A and B are shown apart, each in its own frame.
Chain A
Amino acid sequence: MSGGPPKALQSTGPHSLRDMPHPLAGSSSEEAVGGDSTPSPDLLMTRSFGDKDLILPNGGTPADTSSPASSSSLLNRLQLDDDIDGETRDLFVTVDDPKKHVCTMETYITYRITTKSTRVEFDLPEYSVRRRYQDFDWLRNKLEESQPTHLIPPLPEKFVVKGVVDRFSEEFVETRRKALDKFLKRITDHPVLSFNEHLSVFLTAKDLNVYKKQGMALLTRVGESVKHVTGGYKLRSRPLEFAAIGEYLDTFALKLGTIDRIAQRIIKEEIEYLVELREYGPVYSTWSALEGELTEPLEGVSACIGNCSTALEELTDDMTEDFLPVLREYILYSDSMKSVLKKRDQVQAEYEAKLEAVALRKEDRPKVPADVEKCQDRMECFNADLKADMERWQNNKRQDFRQLLMGMADKNIQYYEKCLMAWESIIPLLQEKPDAKKKSQCLDEPSR
Chain B
Amino acid sequence: MRLRRRIKSQRRAAAMEQSPPQDPGRQLQSAPLEPLGHPAAGLEAAVSEDAEDTRKEGPGDGTMTENNFSLKKIEISVSEAEKRTGRNAMNMQETYTAYLIETRSVENIDGQSVLTDSLWRRYSEFELLRNYLLVYYPHIVVPPLPEKRAEFVWHKLSADNMDPDFVERRRIGLENFLLRVSSHPILCRDKIFYLFLTQEGNWKETVNETGFQLKADSRLKALNATFRVKNPDKRFTDLKHYSDELQSIISHLLRVRARVADRLYGVYKVHGNYGRVFSEWSAIEKEMGDGLQSAGHHMDVYASSIDDILEDEEHYADQLKEYLFYTEALRAVCRKHELMQYDLEMAAQDLASKKQQCEELATGTVRTFSLKGMTTKLFGQETPEQREARIKVLEEQISEGEQYLKSKNLEGREFLKNAWADIERFKEQKNHDLKEALISYAVMQISMCKKGIQVWTNAKECFSKM
A residues near B, CB below 8 A? 248, 251-252, 255, 258-259, 262, 265-266, 269-270, 272-273, 275-277, 279-280, 283-284, 286-287, 290, 293-294, 297-298, 301, 304, 398, 401-402, 405-406, 409-410, 412-413, 415-417, 419-420, 423-424, 426-427, 430-431, 434, 444-448
Inter-subunit contact B245/A290 (CB<8 Å): yes
Mask of B428-445 contacts with A, CB within 8 angstroms, 1/0: 000100110011011101
Cα distance, A331 to B259, chains bound together (Å): 36
Residues of A with C-beta under 8 A to B362 = none
Inter-subunit contact B466/A273 (CB<8 Å): no
Inter-subunit contact B242/A276 (CB<8 Å): no
A-B contact pairs, 10 of them (CB 8 A): A248-B284, A252-B281, A276-B259, A297-B434, A301-B442, A398-B287, A405-B466, A409-B459, A412-B456, A448-B421
Inter-subunit contact A283/B252 (CB<8 Å): yes
Interface window among B97-105, B269-277, B363-371 = B269-277
Cβ distance B388 to chain A, nearest Cβ, rounded Å: 49
Inter-subunit contact A252/B284 (CB<8 Å): yes
Cβ distance B264 to chain A, nearest Cβ, rounded Å: 6
Inter-subunit contact B457/A286 (CB<8 Å): no
Q: With A269-B270, A270-B267, A280-B256 as given contacts, are A413 and B457 in contact (CB-CB < 8 Å)?
A: yes
Inter-subunit contact A280/B424 (CB<8 Å): no
Residues of B with C-beta under 8 A to A298 = 438
Inter-subunit contact A416/B453 (CB<8 Å): yes
**Does chain A have a CB within 8 A of B280?**
yes
Inter-subunit contact A301/B457 (CB<8 Å): no
Closest A residue to B466 by beta carbon equals A402
Cβ distance B286 to chain A, nearest Cβ, rounded Å: 8
- Kindly identify, within residues 289 to 317 of chain B, every residue whose CB is under 8 Å from any CB belonging to chain A: 291, 295
Cα distance, A405 to B466, chains bound together (Å): 10
**Does chain A have a CB within 8 A of B13?**
no
Residues of A with C-beta under 8 A to B260 = 273, 276-277, 280
Residues of A with C-beta under 8 A to B421 = 447-448
**Does chain A have a CB within 8 A of B194?**
no
Inter-subunit contact B277/A258 (CB<8 Å): yes
Inter-subunit contact B264/A273 (CB<8 Å): yes
Residues of B with C-beta under 8 A to A273 = 260, 263-264, 266-267
Closest B residue to A264 by beta carbon equals B270
Q: With A255-B281, A301-B438 as given contacts, are A419 and B466 in contact (CB-CB < 8 Å)?
A: no
Residues of A with C-beta under 8 A to B264 = 273
Cα distance, A65 to B260, chains bound together (Å): 68
Inter-subunit contact A297/B438 (CB<8 Å): yes
Closest B residue to A270 by beta carbon equals B267
Inter-subunit contact B449/A266 (CB<8 Å): no
Closest B residue to A444 by beta carbon equals B427
Inter-subunit contact A290/B453 (CB<8 Å): no
**Does chain A have a CB within 8 A of B253?**
yes
Inter-subunit contact B435/A290 (CB<8 Å): no
A-side interface mostly: helix
Inter-subunit contact B249/A287 (CB<8 Å): yes
- Choose among A248, A301, A447 the residue that contacts B420 (Cβ–Cβ < 8 A): A447
Inter-subunit contact A398/B466 (CB<8 Å): yes
Inter-subunit contact B245/A262 (CB<8 Å): no
Inter-subunit contact A262/B256 (CB<8 Å): no
Residues of B with C-beta under 8 A to A304 = 442
Cβ distance B320 to chain A, nearest Cβ, rounded Å: 10
Q: With A430-B439, A447-B420 as given contacts, are A423 and B446 in contact (CB-CB < 8 Å)?
A: yes
- Kindly identify, within residues 84 to 127 of chain B, every residue whose CB is under 8 Å from any CB belonging to chain A: none
Closest A residue to B441 by beta carbon equals A301
Residues of A with C-beta under 8 A to B441 = 301
Inter-subunit contact B274/A272 (CB<8 Å): no
- Choose among B245, B266, B291, B420 the residue that contacts A272 (Cβ–Cβ < 8 A): B266
Inter-subunit contact A405/B256 (CB<8 Å): no
Residues of A with C-beta under 8 A to B445 = 419, 423
Residues of B with C-beta under 8 A to A446 = 424
Residues of A with C-beta under 8 A to B271 = 266
Cα distance, A28 to B54, chains bound together (Å): 101
Cβ distance B377 to chain A, nearest Cβ, rounded Å: 53
Inter-subunit contact A398/B256 (CB<8 Å): no
Inter-subunit contact B435/A294 (CB<8 Å): yes
**Does chain A have a CB within 8 A of B257?**
yes
Closest A residue to B268 by beta carbon equals A269
What are the nearest 6 A-B pairs in CB distance?
A409-B460, A273-B263, A420-B449, A416-B452, A405-B463, A255-B281
Cβ distance A64 to chain B, nearest Cβ, rounded Å: 42
- Kindly identify, within residues 353 to 374 of chain B, every residue whose CB is under 8 Å from any CB belonging to chain A: none
Residues of A with C-beta under 8 A to B262 = 276
Residues of A with C-beta under 8 A to B464 = 402, 406
Inter-subunit contact B452/A412 (CB<8 Å): yes
**Does chain A have a CB within 8 A of B71?**
no
Cα distance, A290 to B242, chains bound together (Å): 7
Closest B residue to A413 by beta carbon equals B456
Closest A residue to B449 by beta carbon equals A420
- Choose among B249, B420, B449 the residue that contacts A286 (Cβ–Cβ < 8 A): B249
Inter-subunit contact A406/B460 (CB<8 Å): yes
Apart from A277-B260, A405-B463, A444-B427, list 19 A-B contacts with CB within 8 A: A262-B270, A266-B270, A269-B270, A273-B264, A276-B260, A280-B256, A301-B438, A301-B441, A401-B288, A405-B295, A405-B459, A409-B463, A416-B456, A419-B449, A423-B442, A424-B446, A427-B439, A448-B54, A448-B424
Q: With A293-B431, A413-B460 as given contacts, are A269 and B424 in contact (CB-CB < 8 Å)?
A: no
Q: With A279-B256, A405-B466 as given contacts, are A272 and B460 in contact (CB-CB < 8 Å)?
A: no
- Choose among A275, A286, A430 the residue that contacts B442 (Cβ–Cβ < 8 A): A430
Residues of B with C-beta under 8 A to A294 = 431, 434-435
Cα distance, A301 to B444, chains bound together (Å): 13
Cα distance, A410 to B458, chains bound together (Å): 11
Inter-subunit contact B427/A417 (CB<8 Å): no
Cβ distance B143 to chain A, nearest Cβ, rounded Å: 20
Residues of A with C-beta under 8 A to B434 = 294, 297
Cα distance, A68 to B350, chains bound together (Å): 117
**Does chain A have a CB within 8 A of B221?**
no
Cα distance, A420 to B420, chains bound together (Å): 41
Cα distance, A427 to B438, chains bound together (Å): 9
Cα distance, A135 to B420, chains bound together (Å): 81
Closest A residue to B282 by beta carbon equals A255
Cα distance, A402 to B277, chains bound together (Å): 16
Closest A residue to B436 by beta carbon equals A430
Q: With A280-B256, A287-B253, A398-B288 as given contacts, are A266 and B420 in contact (CB-CB < 8 Å)?
A: no
Q: With A301-B442, A398-B288 as given contacts, are A276 and B263 in contact (CB-CB < 8 Å)?
A: yes
Inter-subunit contact A290/B249 (CB<8 Å): yes
Residues of A with C-beta under 8 A to B288 = 398, 401-402
Inter-subunit contact B253/A284 (CB<8 Å): yes
Pick the most buried of B431, B439, B464: most chain A CB atoms within 10 A of its CB. B431
Cα distance, A174 to B453, chains bound together (Å): 29
Inter-subunit contact B256/A283 (CB<8 Å): yes
Inter-subunit contact B424/A444 (CB<8 Å): yes
- Choose among B277, B280, B459, B463 the residue that contacts A262 (Cβ–Cβ < 8 A): B277
Cα distance, A405 to B271, chains bound together (Å): 14
Residues of B with C-beta under 8 A to A406 = 460, 463-464
Closest A residue to B54 by beta carbon equals A448
Cβ distance B86 to chain A, nearest Cβ, rounded Å: 43
Closest A residue to B298 by beta carbon equals A409
Inter-subunit contact A409/B456 (CB<8 Å): yes
Inter-subunit contact A255/B438 (CB<8 Å): no
Cα distance, A79 to B444, chains bound together (Å): 54
Cα distance, A424 to B448, chains bound together (Å): 12
Closest B residue to A282 by beta carbon equals B256
Inter-subunit contact A283/B253 (CB<8 Å): yes
Cα distance, A123 to B47, chains bound together (Å): 104
Cα distance, A277 to B264, chains bound together (Å): 10
Inter-subunit contact A420/B263 (CB<8 Å): no
